[in-house]
Amino acid sequence: MLDYDFMRTAFAAGAIVAIVAGTVGVFLVLRNLSFAGHALSHVGFAGATGAALVGMSPLWGLVAFSLLGAAAMGLLGEKLRGRDVAVGIILSLALGCGVLFLHLYTAYASQATALLFGNVLGVGGATLRVLLALAIVSLAALAAIARPLIFATLEPELAEAKGVRLRLVSALFLAIVAIAVAEAAQVVGVLLVFALMVGPPAAALGLTTRLGHAVALSALLGLVETWAGIALAYVTDWPTSFWIVLLSCLVYFASLAARRIIALGSEGAAFP
C-alpha cells in the first residue's frame, strides 16, 4: 500500500487534518458551536465553487469564504450560542450560492463531488504543503489564545468581568475553526466535516474530564480513525469518507458505552 506515492501523500494529509480537527474540535464542542462549525463548511463550499468559476483554486476559495463566514459569526460573540435559526439561514444561503455556481460552471461537477464528500486520495504534493502551512498557522493561533479561550469557554461571565474581550476571542476562535474546517473538507468533504471536527472530540470529552488529556486523546482518535479509514478504503475499494465516518461514529458510541459502564461501576461501589 505504501509503495504508491498517492497513498503516502494521503496518509500524510490525513494525519495533518486529523490532528488539527481533533485539537480545535475539543473547544468547538465545549463552546457548543458544533452547528456553527458545520455551517462554516457549507459557506466554504460556496467559496470553493465560486473560486472554480473564476479560475482560482477551490481550496483558497474554501478558506476565504470560511474565514468571511467566521468573521460574520464572530460579530455575534457569545450571542452566537443558541442562534440556530440565524446560522441555519446562512447555511442555506451558502448552499444555494454553491448550487448556482455549479449551474454556471457544469464542468466542475466532478470536483464538486470531491468537495462535498472528500477525496483524500486525490491530494497532491502542492495541496499537502498548503495543508501543512494552514495547520501550523491554526495551531499556533490556537496556542496564542488558549488561556483566554479556556477562560471564556468555562466561565464567560467571570472572564468578561476580568477584562477578557469575549467578542474578540470568539471571532479569533471561529477564524481558527474556519481553517480547520477547510482542511477537514479535503479529507471527508464539507457534508461530513462533523466526522472529524465533532466525533473524536465528543468521544474524548466523554472519556476524560481533563482538558489537556481530552485534546491529546481527540487528536489521537482522529488520527487513528483517518489512517484506518484510508487503509480500509484501499483494501475494499469503498469511499474513504465512508470508512472515516463509520469509524468515528463507532468510536463515539463505544465512548458512550464505556462512560455508562464506568457510571454503573461507580454507583455499585457507592452502594455495596
Domain locations in the chain as residue ranges: 5-191
Residue (of 175, 195, 180, 145) closest to 21 by Cα position = 180
Output b/e per residue, 33-45; b: 16+ Cβ within 10 A: bbbbbbbbbbbbb
pLDDT band at 263 (very low <50, low <70, confident <90, very high): low
Give me the mean pLDDT over the 137-141 stretch. Answer: 93
Identity of the amino acid at 182:
A
pLDDT, position 217: 94
Average pLDDT, the chain: 81
pLDDT band at 81 (very low <50, low <70, confident <90, very high): low
Specify the higher pLDDT residue, 214 or 91.
Answer: 214
Among residues of the chain, what percentage have pLDDT more than 90?
Answer: 25
If one counts every other C-beta atom within 10 angstroms of the C-beta of residue 220, the result is 15
pLDDT band at 12 (very low <50, low <70, confident <90, very high): very high
Residue (of 117, 77, 118, 70) closest to 94 by Cα position = 70
Does residue 206 register a pLDDT over 70?
Answer: yes
pTM: 0.82
How far apart (Å, rounded) are the C-alpha atoms in residues 212 and 30? 13
Query: Which DSSP category does 106 fall into?
Result: G
If one counts every other C-beta atom within 10 angstroms of the C-beta of residue 182, the result is 30
Q: What is the pLDDT of residues 210-261, one digit of tens each?
A: 888 999 999 999 999 999 999 999 999 888 888 999 999 999 999 888 888 7
- CATH 1.10.287.110 describes domain 5-191: no
